[in-house]
Structure 1
Amino acid sequence: MLAQKENKPAAKENELEIVRILDAPRELVYQLWTKEEHLKKWNAPLGCSIHYSRIDVRPGGEFLSVVKNPVYPDCWVKGVYLELQAPERIAYTMEMSDEQGNINLPQYQNADWPASTIVTLSFEELPGNKTRLTLRQSVSEAAAMRKGAYQGWLSSFDVMDQYLAGITEKK
């Protein structure tokens, strides 16, 4: 079963918000965001892949990942986990980087895209073993649309839906 898409206007002017209803229990959805074996299967837009050079999922832990796209150059991202409250909430930073994790690279500087954003995920248990996933990123929706981040999240969530359907059918 496909997840319901429920995109709402941003809660704040400089905040992207995406809401998705997933046909999976909250604990499993939380694990999709905290276990590397899950993340590497879905956390990139359709047609792309993701690799983690490092990932340490704990408060203060860092990750360094690269999204490989057959059309565009590699996209390296570094982040730090700020908060992990299983299975309700995750918060982390995201910064464009190079393969060594160096940030604030001139080619990524943009007047309407911050050098660092904060991504906050909340997981709400719903009846029928479903989960409401709410993603908030500290960037305006307009900037996220121009940069492709908004479309990237939506496509990644579509891949996550497919991945979830495959692993929940096996249970």
Structure 2
Amino acid sequence: MKKTYLSAAIAITMLGASGAYASLADGLPYSVNMDSNGFMIDGQYRLLRGGTVQWFRIPSSEWRDRLEKFKAAGFNTVDLYVAWNSVEPREGQFNFSSPNLRQFILLCKELGLYVYLRPGPYITNEMDGGGVPAWLMAKSTKKDIAADGKPNLRTHDPDYLNY
């Protein structure tokens, strides 16, 4: 299980960082390399100026307005979180095809913004369990209970690391 999730996370990160996921519609993925001088995209060094946009907290009807303001502020890279619980809502059942995520990424592309995709596992951001799936919380053997009555999993716990 751990290897499956890790492999999926690595694949999604590579696709997001390279822009390939956003480019699937036209079949023209970006070429991305990094060396000691920085990021080279399509053969040219680029200074990536970015910030996090929590797309899942913004109504889709407001995405364009927010991203246009983001770009007008001088940013060219959108940093996106993807919560583990949104891609593996049930143990072993992965779904990376969220139409909302795809639409948001394609809108970023349309506006000329790069996307740096950061899948969980733990993303905090005031999300229930930090984005860790409820099924993992239920399986925990932890006796340490948080104030909300749920197991207090942390990134160094074996119950967490086994996935």
TM-score (norm 1): 0.29
Q: Choose 1 or 2 for highest CA Rg.
A: 2
Structure number having the greater strand percentage: 1
Decide which structure has greater helix share.
2
More RCO (CA 8 Å, sep 6+): 1
